[in-house]
Amino acid sequence: MPSEKILSVKQAQTAELNEKIKAAVSGVIVDYKGITVSDDTKMRAELRAAGCTYAVVKNTMLRFALEGTGFEGLDGMLNGTTALALSGEEDPMAAARILKKFADAPNATLNMKGGFLDGSVMDAAQVNAIANLPGREGMLSMFAGALTSTLSGLAVAMQAYADKQAETVA
């Protein structure tokens, strides 16, 4: 049995991880077994640049940290080597997108286990589907393009109607 000092340190780390999970908009759990040091360094740098946090965690500690968060459904994914990436409000899908990029790379060993988004637990297939979506800027530009094309079509239709009315009067 661990000493009181070690136990209190682990409880503090678990409580801190619990708060980070509660504050995150989304999270992704991966199996990092076999990833090279250079790939891991690149991946961590990209995650930091995107505002995500990434840490290797012990399964038992993560299991305790998930208590009270509503993500207890992730418990079945906590086996083998485990790392957790968390995203904030700026780009909730950033962690999933970056991790998928490294998981899909040739000779990749990174494996998605699952995750959560806006209070819902997701399996690996759902995380991969979310990772394929464009980022916030991409979605905004798609929305602006759709809005612009709709307005352009309306303007063309109104001009055609006006031209037709002018021909009828003349």
- Strands (DSSP E) along the chain, which ranges? 26-31, 53-56, 83-87, 111-117, 120-123
| CB-CB contact of 100 with 128 (8 Å) | yes
Confidence (pLDDT) at 135? 65
Residue 114, Cβ density class (10 Å: 0-12 exposed, 13-18 middle, ≥19 buried): buried
| CB-CB contact of 76 with 122 (8 Å) | no
Residue 153, Cβ density class (10 Å: 0-12 exposed, 13-18 middle, ≥19 buried): exposed
Phi, psi at 117, each rounded to 5°: -150, 125
Confidence (pLDDT) at 163? 79
Confidence (pLDDT) at 29? 95
What percent of the chain clears pLDDT 90, i.e. is strictly above it? 46
| Domain limits, the chain | 4-133, 135-170
Q: What is the pLDDT of residues 19-32, one digit of tens each?
A: 999 999 999 999 99
Phi, psi at 123, each rounded to 5°: -85, 180
Length of the chain as a residue count: 170
Tell whether the torsion through CA atoms of 10, 15, 17 and 18 is positive or negative. positive
Three-class SS state of 135: coil
Which stretches of the chain drop beneath a pLDDT of 70? 1, 134-136, 139, 169-170
Strand-pairing partners, residue 111, are 31
Query: Is the entire prediction scored with pTM above 0.85?
Result: no
CATH of 4-133, one of 3.40.50.80, 3.90.1150.10, 3.40.50.300, 3.30.70.1730: 3.30.70.1730
Rounded distance, CA 36 to CA 56, Å? 14
